Amino acid sequence: MKISQMQVTTVAAPDPPLRNSWGVHEPYFVRVILKLTTDDGLVGWGEVGGGAAMARQIEAARPHILGQSPYNLEPARLTLRGNAQVFSAIEVACLDIIGKATGQRLVDLLGGQVREKVPYASYLFYKYADQERDDPWGEVMTPEAMVHEAEMFHEQWGFTTHKVKGGVLPPDEEVRTMLLLRERFPDHQLRIDPNAIWSVETSIRVAYKLKEIDLEYLEDPTADNVGMAAVSRTTHIPLSTNMCVTRFEHIPEAVRLNSVQVILGDHHGWGGVRAFVDLGKFCQTFGLGLSQHSNNHLCISMAAMTAVGAAIPNLLYASDSHYPWNTEDIIKGEMMSFQDGCQEVPSGPGLGVEIDEDKLAKLAENFQRRNRLARDDVTEMRKRDPFWLPIKPRW
């Protein structure tokens, strides 16, 4: 069995005006979709973030992929010289093929299933009302509105872990948000992630103000391992990261400084799903917790994340996922859904999801139109704050 065809498609899917420390999400998020076909007609799918530049990097791997066996993964990784994101898309597509060839699910290829359902966290964002599309959420720019958003996520999908994307309101208002969430959900797990926008001093002050509400963890309150270690020394709240520990070579410093207690891995950035399983073993060795980071993604990544979450015994923290914010996907049939805050592992071989080529073509057309549809973030921000500048502030 050899790989005989390779198709790379860049797509753009609708995204609401979600806020973060950098500004506002664009009206579309971009993904690169990889389709590999073997000489006996089996098809495997991969997905990774990024736009035209990422698509070009994957295209550059074409001479090293065509004519090769999908089982030939380690030579492919070495040929790509550590390009983790490119390899992650190729690896998932190859494992999808292998699963279909052998009748095995991706989770079986990763060592077998250790849990029936994979828990996910609601991913809560401050946001503006979407003036361009139907928007059941409305504007969420106050602590009270954020509590209502969490209620909607809980009622619709059953999430009992809630993560707030912080770094948007003044820190004391985000403290008030978390206090109100704890009052509303006394038995749920709570997290906040300001994307390292706070200074060490502000991070310590916020952690002190939140010390009584039993946060599950505080994610990347400040920058780098040194800053995180300074915060960690002052609080009992676990610190997590997907910003200062993003490669295996970062782990020794983090362990030496005790800068983080939980790593949020991402199979796209860590070098694929098999590398992510290895990350679980590292975390177990050094007594670190493990969860999954998420950017905007479609069904291919959703299925891969769920397989990873079902295969790693010590992945005990609910995983992040933007997927509930999606209104369109490339999956054949209905979009993937959450029940009681969890995803069931797809039952079909490989990834267990089928791709609708018509939907893929539609989202590819969206990408071609994307530049004409771009939201003017600077104007939108200045409507609300005339002193806002398109640079990252530091609280």
Q: Are residues 71 and 54 in the same domain?
A: yes
What gap in Å lies between CA 150 and CA 161, rounded to an integer? 10
Query: Does any domain span residue 390?
Result: no
Report the pLDDT value the prediction gives residue 382, as an integer from 0 to 100: 53
Q: Are residues 71 and 122 in the same domain?
A: no
Query: Does any domain span residue 320?
Result: yes
Q: Are residues 165 and 306 in the same domain?
A: yes
| Dihedral (Cα; 132, 137, 139, 143), 10-degree rounding | -160
Report the pLDDT value the prediction gives residue 142, as an integer from 0 to 100: 98
Q: Are residues 375 and 240 in the same domain?
A: no
Query: Does any domain span residue 103?
Result: yes
Q: Are residues 166 and 231 in the same domain?
A: yes
Q: Are residues 161 and 194 in the same domain?
A: yes
Query: Does any domain span residue 367?
Result: yes
Other CB atoms within a 10 A radius of the CB of residue 329 amount to: 23
Q: Are residues 41 and 171 in the same domain?
A: no
Q: Are residues 279 and 241 in the same domain?
A: yes
Q: Are residues 89 and 136 in the same domain?
A: no
Query: Does any domain span residue 165?
Result: yes
Query: Does any domain span residue 351?
Result: no
Report the pLDDT value the prediction gives residue 387, as an integer from 0 to 100: 46
Residue 214 C-beta-side C-alpha neighbours within 13 Å: 8
Query: Does any domain span residue 393?
Result: no
| Dihedral (Cα; 201, 202, 203, 207), 10-degree rounding | 110
How many independent structural domains does the chain possess? 2
Could you give the residue numbers annotated as active site? Answer: 165, 293
- What tokens does 368 get? 């071609």
Q: Are residues 219 and 79 in the same domain?
A: no
pLDDT in tens, the chain (395 residues): 999 999 999 999 999 999 999 899 999 999 999 999 999 999 999 999 989 999 999 999 999 999 999 999 999 999 998 799 999 999 999 999 999 999 999 999 999 999 999 999 999 999 999 988 899 999 999 999 999 999 999 999 999 999 999 999 999 999 999 999 999 999 999 999 999 999 999 999 999 999 999 999 999 999 999 999 999 999 999 999 999 999 999 999 999 999 999 999 999 999 999 999 999 999 999 999 999 999 999 999 999 999 999 999 999 999 999 999 999 999 999 999 999 999 999 999 999 999 999 999 999 999 998 765 555 555 555 555 554 555 555 66
Query: Does any domain span residue 391?
Result: no
User: Residue 316: which CATH number?
Assistant: 3.20.20.120
- The pTM for the full model equals 0.93
Q: Are residues 31 and 179 in the same domain?
A: no
Q: Are residues 323 and 206 in the same domain?
A: yes
Range of 263's domain?
111-344
User: Residue 93: which CATH number?
Assistant: 3.30.390.10
